Chains A and B, each alone.
Chain A
């Protein structure tokens, strides 16, 4: 007999949260703290969504996306989670770039970027200052017609090297490109690049466990392996969800599932205004990713001078289409030293590349396996430049593709960074279509990544709290 993952579920809830990604967990926690009855449903056997990790024989734990918190995570975690979580967020001080245009190391803050741009790239100090100020002052209500490419051209015309320095890390962090609206760059940039890059000491498993404990303390009913099949709407209002075949009544729903899946599959387009459905269909998803996970054997160490994050590329210039190609020429390496999990004393490397779902999903089985092998091989060849003799030090190598991302997150096309800009307006407009129906998750580029997800969870929880108190 299969285990009942919904055993003891109550007759009704104030809010059902679908999906335990960072936005879903944060919204659930905030709503439980506000005194509402919250049920959190996660289809996978682990909480966290893409804030995830996995274990492999030999004592290895791989983090999928841990390096790269913006400084704002400290404040948001302290306020919306716990001081213990916030206190474990530490800076990564050695961020490296290595490509045919330049090779450098930075602490990744405004002062150091200014120094590099002036001294190494010979940009006039006032141009650098004006660029940073312009990016910082951008907000949501600004003109959306200007692209990030045009923003760079205004301040650094003809300087592809400067574009690369300022854009490559953002592309890694949220999948955005030079063709996206400049305001998305400005908003993310001011969060991400003003005060360095951070990580969570103890690993993703420890972070998600601490979040789960806090949710339980606040009274969230947390369920794993709980797959929501349907959101029930009657008379323009949310009334229940069906999960694992059981229907649970609720006054409100927050979906942390993919925006398009939520609206087109879980609710169903027949329940919605036609214009709105057209808008939903027109939302473009962000790309997916491939990752190569490399674990060194016990006792094998990498010198920390290799850096914490390394943006490595053999491509002559920064181009979005090249970034997504299956013949990866650009990779971002996260180096995990024993300091991440001191008790394990291991070194691991995770190489990430942005990728298109279709390039992988349409391959026949055999070719798919072959392509994974090729990706591992070319990645190891590349790592050899930074860690000589890497193959002899390795204990475990594994590859994930957009197909892997799709399987574990159930996101359409394995999207690892949510939607393009227009997704935010659709996500925000959902409650106007159906009373009590909310979406919180990676949308619109600016609400993506670690901090975007946490803060969007809070923003939506605020709306839901107001809705629940109305009657």
Chain B
């Protein structure tokens, strides 16, 4: 997957988790938490969905990489490039 495909995949997960949020204005390098109503369980759900949909394993110590859209895509790129 390319970076933009990964970004689309994240957006798809986010829209399922937060159906009432407008994701079109999402800023790339601002923490997701500051732009959307997300709590720690939401981040866990993102991790679970990535594993379910793409078999990507994210260890707990790497959860901090999922802070912003930019950092998430950068973290996932090497893990998802062969998908």
Contact = CB atoms under 8 A, between A and B. Distances in A.
Contacts of A459: 44
A124 interface: no
B11 interface: no
A22 to B, nearest CB: 15
A78 to B, nearest CB: 10
A458 B45 CA distance: 9
B42 to A, nearest CB: 9
A34 interface: yes
Instruction: Say whether chain B's binding surface is mostly helix, strand, loop, or mixed.
Output: helix
B41 interface: yes
Interface stretch (A171-179, A266-274, A461-469): A461-469
A159 to B, nearest CB: 31
A465 B41 contact: no
A459 B39 CA distance: 13
Interface of B: 17, 39, 41, 44-45, 47-48, 51-52, 55, 57
A365 interface: no
B48 A465 contact: yes
Instruction: Say whether chain A's binding surface is mostly helix, strand, loop, or mixed.
Output: helix
Nearest to B47: A462
Nearest to A33: B52
Contact of A469 (B39, B41, B45, B55): B55
A282 B51 CA distance: 36
A76 interface: yes
A466 B44 contact: no
Contacts of B39: 72
A79 interface: yes
Interface in A443-471: 455, 458-459, 462, 465-466, 469-470
Contacts of A466: 51, 57
Given A72-B39, A466-B57, 7 more contacts: A76-B41, A455-B41, A458-B44, A459-B44, A462-B44, A462-B47, A462-B48
A469 B51 CA distance: 9
A75 B57 CA distance: 25
A465 B51 contact: yes
7 contacts: A75-B41, A458-B44, A462-B44, A462-B47, A462-B48, A465-B48, A469-B57
A432 to B, nearest CB: 12
A75 B48 CA distance: 17
A79 B49 CA distance: 12
